Chains A and B, each alone.
Chain A
Amino acid sequence: MKQTFWATSLVASVAMAGISPAIAQETYKIGVSAGLTGYAATVDRAWRDGVELAAAAVNAKGGVMGRKIQVIVEDNRSEPQEAVTVYRKMLSSDKVDVFVSGCVSAGNFAAAGLLLRAKVPMMLCSILPQQAEHLPWAFTTLPPAGFEVEKRLEYLKEKTQIRKIAVLHDPTPYANLQKGVAERNAAKFGIEVVSVDQYKQDDADLSVQISKARAAGAGAILKIGLGGTTLTAAKNIKQLGADMLLLTSLEDLAVFGPVSEVLGDKFFFVASPSQVYEALPEGGLKTGIKAFLDPWREKFKDRDPNWASRGWDGVMLTVAAIEKAKSLEGEKVRDAYETLSGFQGTTGVYNFRPDLHQGITENPFVLATIAAGKVKVVQ
């Protein structure tokens, strides 16, 4: 019996200790719900590092409106229900002022209702929630889904004779959106989509889809989606002896070395400005990236800067909104986000509007290839 009571009281007190509210401090709190573990880990860890780097840079200059920024990161394990829990935790225990959250879109969607009720805005890595009533409180640093696709179509139209292409995509929402754009907009570039196929992120062979694309007469494959499948696709194309170009999505540069070894000059990828910094012309964009890239390289050497740079933008946009609103209040900051325009970030220029919460309006991407081990911009 003694043991029993001991166990009960221990369990109860441990359980209670974990959920007692934290003490509020005089800082401006940015909450980050990120998939530090699970499928989004690579992207979201980079996002978080970008956010923390930006906060440190802002604090070094004295913070925002006299307050130091405090970044609170919680791991949502790339799961929506975990995301709801951590959003809730940051809202009610940490009393977070704003969210600059990662790329787990399902998690951000699931929590959107909470933010609406708490009147706390979020600046996201992922696509925006689908629910109309959630939209006013959500903003994103993500360029529109069409940009990555259009850059590739543009290249094919202007620099090649290829007029028939195949689309290969994974089932994630962002990939699905891009697929839709490809289907709708290819004709504008005089290009016909002759086959569309889906694969899964853990597929170990894509030769069926690639054979199908070749049989349909496709001269190039637009691959939409992240991860090891890009290398798989490259190998399959080579094994099948298919004479096709492979044009892949934005991705960690580290992935592309091996792919380029397989396909050589038949391989192209979409790159964000920060990934091709050295090749950029002097100007506002290059300066904007430099502000981020210097401390980034100092801390993380040649780690890919792409997602981190948007995390950086997320914080800087927030700081700009606060300064514009002259207020730290959620509702005022939200209103100010909507008026930020001409904001030079690391991924391009952000032009938010009340009816446009996806701020990047001009295509910032380039198409690149790897020649002699060096990244080369081709479009």
Chain B
Amino acid sequence: MTISPSITSPERRPIALRLAGLLPWLFAVVVVGYAMVVGGYAATVVSFALIYAVFVTGLNLFMGFAAQVSFGQNAFAAIGGYGSAVLTATYGWSPLPAMVIGIAAAVMAAAIVGFPTLRLKGHYLAMGTLAIGLITYEITVEWQSLTQGYLGISGIPPFGIGAYEVTSDRGQLVMLSLVVAACAFAAARIRRSRFGRALSAVAGSEEAATALGIDVSRYKLMAFLLSAGFAALAGSLFVHVVGYVSPEVFGLHMVIVTFTMLYVGGIGTVAGPLVGALIVSLLPETFRAFKDYQDLAYGAALILLLIYAPRGLASLFAPRGRS
């Protein structure tokens, strides 16, 4: 494994602790491996979880690394998803270039929105991003000539390499696992980089960071753009894996689920988004047999997690926590 967990100075830590840091990754490998072997329903649940992991990894860059708040990341997932859907299903493009355009459009939208709002602080920014999410949702509903409103867009082709299309469960799981691994690797690199340290400084104290010559609003904007890019990638992956998109996919529901994933997994850690996405996707399925009590059991499980792992599951394995 080349991915290093949330450790900044591994050289001084005992081996046992370093191995403990690998546990979240081991957990992910076991779950994905299980889904790969069993296939079917498990594969669907884990595939969605992996797509969410991409989204939450981006959210974590902005909310965990830079300690900002955005309730509007679903907007960028929608732009990425609809970009892919419209360009492939309506205009017959192939998925990869459609995805690239979708991501570029989302990053541009994030720049337009982020440039003015990231100068705002605290709840203004949060409110601003919430508005972006709601407005984008409305647009996907209302702009029927492009999005077909609630009817949604069907017939979105799956990803492929040349003539080979990734349609099998296992193929999709492999593809998504590779994407998630690349995203986690990128997050780990970013965190260790000069840019990542600047983000940590911004997270610690904007004023202190400014006084050290760190251009706070520029870094916030960069983190925001990056997180929008991840969100758009997730949106695009979703539509190509499912083959269908409609506005509800990127609704407020997505905001709630991904926030839960981020906090359950461990905000600010590298492994947290993946662990959170897997756990939060698997838990409700685990309790499906409870029927009407499914939500109750799920809620109780979440509360237990927050009591026993208040800083997230991944932080259980990194004794110094955010460092």
Any A–B CB pair closer than 8 Å = yes
Interface residues of A (CB under 8 A from B): 1, 3-5, 7-8, 11-12, 14-21, 74-75, 77-81, 84-85, 88-89, 91-93, 105-106, 109-110, 112-113, 129-131, 133-134, 171-173, 176, 198
- Specify the chain B residue showing the minimal Cβ separation from A15: B282
| B249 located at the interface, meaning its Cβ lies under 8 Å from any Cβ of chain A in the complex | yes
| Count of inter-chain pairs, beta carbons less than 8 A | 137
Taking CB atoms, residues of chain A closer than 8 Å to B151 are 105-106, 109, 130, 173, 176
| Distance of A1 Cα from B16 Cα, bound (Å) | 9
| Distance of A214 Cα from B89 Cα, bound (Å) | 41
Report yes or no: B285 in contact with A18, Cβ–Cβ below 8 A: yes
Tell me what chain B mostly uses at the interface: helix, strand, loop, or mixed: helix
Report yes or no: A109 in contact with B246, Cβ–Cβ below 8 A: yes
- Specify the chain A residue showing the minimal Cβ separation from B155: A131
| B242 located at the interface, meaning its Cβ lies under 8 Å from any Cβ of chain A in the complex | yes
CB distance from A68 to the nearest CB of B (A): 20
User: Which of B243, B251, B285 lies in contact with A113, CB distance below 8 A?
Assistant: B243
Taking CB atoms, residues of chain A closer than 8 Å to B141 are 171
Interface residues of B (CB under 8 A from A): 16, 20, 23, 26-27, 30-31, 34-35, 38-42, 44-45, 48, 141-142, 144, 148-152, 154-155, 238, 242-246, 248-249, 251, 253, 278-279, 282-283, 285-288, 294, 308-309, 313, 316-317
Evaluate whether A173 and B27 lie within 8 angstroms (CB atoms) in the complex, with A7-B313, A19-B285 already known. no
Report yes or no: B285 in contact with A85, Cβ–Cβ below 8 A: yes
| Distance of A111 Cα from B318 Cα, bound (Å) | 40
- Specify the chain A residue showing the minimal Cβ separation from B46: A19
Report yes or no: B27 in contact with A11, Cβ–Cβ below 8 A: yes
User: Which of B249, B286, B294 lies in contact with A79, CB distance below 8 A?
Assistant: B249
Report yes or no: B248 in contact with A78, Cβ–Cβ below 8 A: yes
Point out which of A17, A80, A112, A172 has the most chain B C-beta atoms below 10 A from its C-beta.
A80
- Specify the chain B residue showing the minimal Cβ separation from A130: B154
Evaluate whether A12 and B41 lie within 8 angstroms (CB atoms) in the complex, with A80-B152, A81-B238, A112-B154 already known. no
Report yes or no: A80 in contact with B248, Cβ–Cβ below 8 A: yes
User: Which of A5, A89, A130, A133 lies in contact with B41, CB distance below 8 A?
Assistant: A89
- Specify the chain B residue showing the minimal Cβ separation from A113: B243
CB distance from A198 to the nearest CB of B (A): 8
Taking CB atoms, residues of chain B closer than 8 Å to A78 are 248
